[in-house]
């Protein structure tokens, strides 16, 4: 059985953090360190087909949730605080509703329990133009990617996945082909009648379209004890765009 790769920081109550689509555990290093300095044993996890975790042809939220359970069993974690962003938020929701006894409290960052149509085509179109037989460093990769993806922040986020596959040959850590083929599955909803009635916090960016007021009723249906709070001056990458407020609101909830 493959066990997910992670970085473990600090000591205290187990706190599992799940990154978003095309992300990795490193995206949460700064915030993870803050939580770890304040009473938590933080597990920054790479989900399957991402970061340094195993690659697999199979990819759906039941499997992603089971991966976390296997990880918890491997590390002898009976229950944990769980937080996920975007795709990781869907994994966290599936985990909490499937195995409520394993989740002490749940935090979901900028994703709702609903279906999202595929909307990453422009990213994969850009990434598919990168020819690593010709590109020899990150700057060249960024120059090529900028022809297809104008937002520098998105490019920087994607280029964090570059690594040296072998001497003088770059490649992506994520499983490009499988993730490109499974885009439809990324947008899938959690199980239709799933319910987690433990303490839950949904955080949404005030500039993000991912959680709208008309989603609140559906959130409460699946998560009857959910609080919904807004992070100011933040879009979908709310933890990176307003880390101070994100930390304050999440830490207050974890300790309430």
Q: Which of 60, 85, 42 is nearest to 204 (CA)?
A: 85
Q: Among the options 73, 177, 197, 232, which is catalytic?
A: 177
Q: Among the options 5, 85, 222, 236, which is catalytic?
A: 236
**Tokens (6 digits) for 6:** 């992670």
Q: Is 166 left (phi over 0), alpha (psi -120 to 50) or beta?
A: beta
| DSSP helix/strand/coil, 67 | helix
Sign of the dihedral defined by the CA atoms of residues 65, 71, 72, 73, in that order: positive
Query: HSE (CB half, 13 Å, CA atoms) of 183?
Result: 13
Q: Which of 86, 84, 93 is nearest to 62 (CA)?
A: 93
Q: Among the options 86, 98, 208, 250, which is catalytic?
A: 86
Positions of E strands within the chain? 6-9, 13-18, 40-45, 80-85, 103-109, 162-166, 169-172, 200-205, 226-231
Q: Which of 92, 143, 110, 59 is nearest to 240 (CA)?
A: 110
Q: Which residues, in sequence order, are CB contacts of 86 under 8 Å at separation 6+?
A: 20, 21, 23, 109, 110, 111, 210, 236
State yes or no: is 86 an active-site residue. Answer: yes
State yes or no: is 232 an active-site residue. Answer: no
State yes or no: is 26 an active-site residue. Answer: no
The residues annotated with a catalytic role in the active site are 86, 177, 236
């Amino acid at each position: 059985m493959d066990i997910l790769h992670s970085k473990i920081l600090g000591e205290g109550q187990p706190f599992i953090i799940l990154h978003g689509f095309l992300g990795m555990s490193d995206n949460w290093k700064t915030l993870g360190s803050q939580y770890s300095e304040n009473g938590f044993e933080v597990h920054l996890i790479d989900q399957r087909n991402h970061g340094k975790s195993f690659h697999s042809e199979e990819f759906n939220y039941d499997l992603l949730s089971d991966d976390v359970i296997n990880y918890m069993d491997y590390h002898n974690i009976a229950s944990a605080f769980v937080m996920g962003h975007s795709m990781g938020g869907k994994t966290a929701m599936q985990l909490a509703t499937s195995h409520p006894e394993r989740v002490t409290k749940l935090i979901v960052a900028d994703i709702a329990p609903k279906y999202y149509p595929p909307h990453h085509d422009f990213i994969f179109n850009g990434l598919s133009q990168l020819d690593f037989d010709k590109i020899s460093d990150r700057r060249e990769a960024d120059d090529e990617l900028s022809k297809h993806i104008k937002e520098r922040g998105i490019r920087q986020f994607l280029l964090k996945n570059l690594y040296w596959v072998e001497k003088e040959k770059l490649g992506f850590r994520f499983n490009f082909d499988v993730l490109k083929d499974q885009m439809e599955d990324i947008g899938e909803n959690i199980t239709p009648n799933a319910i987690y009635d433990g303490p839950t916090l949904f955080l949404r960016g005030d500039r993000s379209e991912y959680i709208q007021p008309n989603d609140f009723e559906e959130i409460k249906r699946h998560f009857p004890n959910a609080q919904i709070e807004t992070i100011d001056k933040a879009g979908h990458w709310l933890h990176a765009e307003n880390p101070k407020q994100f930390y304050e609101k999440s830490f207050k909830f974890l300790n309430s």
